[in-house]
Amino acid sequence: MQQRGTFQLMKSVNKSIILNKIRTSEPISRAQIAKETSLTPPTVSSIVKELIEQGLVRESTLGTSSGGRKPTMLHINNDAFYVIGVDAGPETVECILSDLKGQVFQRTSSSIKSQLTNDEFVSILKQNIHALLQLSSVDHEKIIGIGVAMHGVVDVETGMSLVAPNLNLRDIPIKDRLEEEFHITVKVENDARAMALGESWFGGHDDVDSMVAVNIGRGVGAGVVIGGKLYHGAQDIAGELGHMTIDLHGAICECGNPGCLQTFVSGDAIVERARKQAEDMNIRTGHDVYKEAKQGNESYIHILQETGGIIGIGLTNLIHLINPRKIVLGGGVLKSEEFMMPKIIETIQQRALTHKARQTEVVVTQLGDDATLLGAVSLLLVELFDPV
C-alpha cells in the first residue's frame, strides 16, 4: 500500500481544479477546461500530461469537431486508485472497497456487542479492514486511504471519536490506530455528515449548491453541504438535528435532555410508541411496524404517519435555520417512506414560512443502504479532487 501522505504530494490547487473539472464534466477537452477554469492552455496541457502519467486521467477521441481534427477528450481513470470506506456502528461495522466512481468491489461486515472497550472497538475495525484486503484482488498499492463514518461527535482534525453515545464510549483514537496499522491516510467523520458528502458526490445532485442529508435510524443526525463543502460548526457539532428539543416535557434522551427529536422518530422510539399504542409487545424493530402497516393494519399506518409528521416538524425547523435547496433523507426508518413521506411533505407545506420554503425539495436517498459507506469513501475523494 502507499505510505500515507504520498498522494497529497501530487496535489496543487490547479491540479485539483482540473481533476474536479474532468470528474464533473467528462468527457471534456483541454481547450474546454482552459475556457471554464480560466487557466492558461499551457498550464492545462502541462498538468493533464502529469495526470495521464500518474494514471489518474485517460484520453479518448469521442469529441466532435466542425470539420477539423477530432479533439482528444479526457476522462477520469476510475480504477487508478481505490478507497476503503467504513461505516462504524453502532450495531455493525461495514466496510467496502470502492473505485473513484463509487463502484463497490468488495465488502465485509461484523456485528458489535453492546458492551465493549475502545480497544475492542478499534480491533473490530482492524479485523474488517484486514478481511477486506484479503478478499480483494486489487493491487494494494492503489489504495489511497480509509474513510471512516462514525456515529456521535468526531474531532475531524485528530480523527478521534469524542463521544459515541450508542456504544457508551469516549475518546477513541480511530485515525491514529488505523494509520499505525495500515500505513495509509485515514479520515474520520460523523456518519450523517459523511452521508451528506457522499450524497453530494454520488447521489446525482450535481446542480445543488446547498443540501442537507438527514440520517434517521438508531439515532438522528444531519450533514450540511454548502458549495460542495461540509459545514462542521465551531465545535464540530453542526448537524446534531436529533438533539433539537421538540417537547420540553418529553422523554429523556440518551444525551440527558428531555424531548429531543430523536426520542420521537428513531427506530427505537417508533417501536416503543407501537408497543404502547397498539399494545403489541411482539413488535421488536421498526421493520416489524412497517410489515404490519404494509398488511393494512390501520394502527401501525397511523404510527408511521404520525412519525412522518414529527419528522416534518424537525425538517421545517431545519429549513427555517439553513434554508437548503434540497434535503435528502436516509437511514433505516426511511424504509417506511411510503407511509411517512406524504406526511413529511404535508407538514412542511403547512408550517414553512414562505411559499418558496414550502417547496424545498425533500427526497429519499437513491444510494440505499450504501449511502453512509459511500460517504466514507468520499472523505478521501475530497482530498484528491477538491482544491486545497
The tens digit of pLDDT for each residue in 287-299 reads 899 999 999 999 9
Tell me the CA end-to-end span of the chain in Å, nearest whole number: 24
In terms of domains, do 139 and 72 share one? no
**One domain for residues 147 and 266:** no
pLDDT attached to residue 2:
46
Residue found under cell 471534456: 28
Cis? peptide before 90, omega within 30° of 0: yes
- 86 and 72 together in one domain: no
Taking only the tens place, the pLDDT of each residue in 206-220 is 667 789 999 998 889
Q: 292 and 250 in one domain?
A: yes
The answer to whether residues 157 and 243 belong to one domain is no
Q: Are residues 287 and 181 in the same domain?
A: no
Question: What's the CA gap between 252 and 150, in Å, rounded?
Answer: 23
Determine the structural domain holding residue 59 and report its residue range. Answer: 8-76
Contact status, residue 271 vs residue 232, Cβ threshold 8 Å = no
Residue 1 resides in a domain: no
- Owner of C-alpha cell 448537524: 239
In a domain, 3, yes or no: no
Q: Residue 302 is placed in which grid cell?
A: 397511523
Contact (CB, 8 A) for 39 and 13: no
Asked whether 43 and 25 are in contact (CB, 8 A), the reply is no
Block mean pLDDT (10 aa), the chain, length 388: 47 82 88 91 92 89 62 87 92 93 92 90 96 91 94 91 88 96 95 90 77 91 87 87 94 92 94 86 87 91 95 96 94 92 96 94 90 94 74
Give the chain's domain count. 3
Contact predicate 311/344, CB 8 Å: yes
Task: Give the whole-angstrom CA distance, residue 224 versus residue 62.
Answer: 37
Phi-psi map region of 155: left, alpha, beta (phi>0 left; psi -120 to 50 alpha): beta
CATH code for position 276: 3.30.420.40
Spatial distance between the Cα atoms of 159 and 172, rounded to a whole number of angstroms: 9
Whether 92 and 49 share a structural domain: no
Query: How many other CB atoms sit within 10 Å of the CB of residue 388?
Result: 9
User: Within a domain: residue 340?
Assistant: yes
Domain shared by 240 and 318, yes or no: yes
17: CATH? 1.10.10.10
Is the domain of 28 the same as that of 170? no
Spatial CB neighbours of 321, under 8 Å, sequence gap ≥ 6: none
| Best CA proximity match to 194, nearest among 83, 116, 268 | 83
Output the pLDDT for position 202.
Answer: 87
Count other Cβ atoms within 10 Å, centred on residue 369.
13
Rounded distance between C-alpha atoms, residue 292 and residue 294, angstroms: 5
The three cell numbers of residue 225 are 453541504
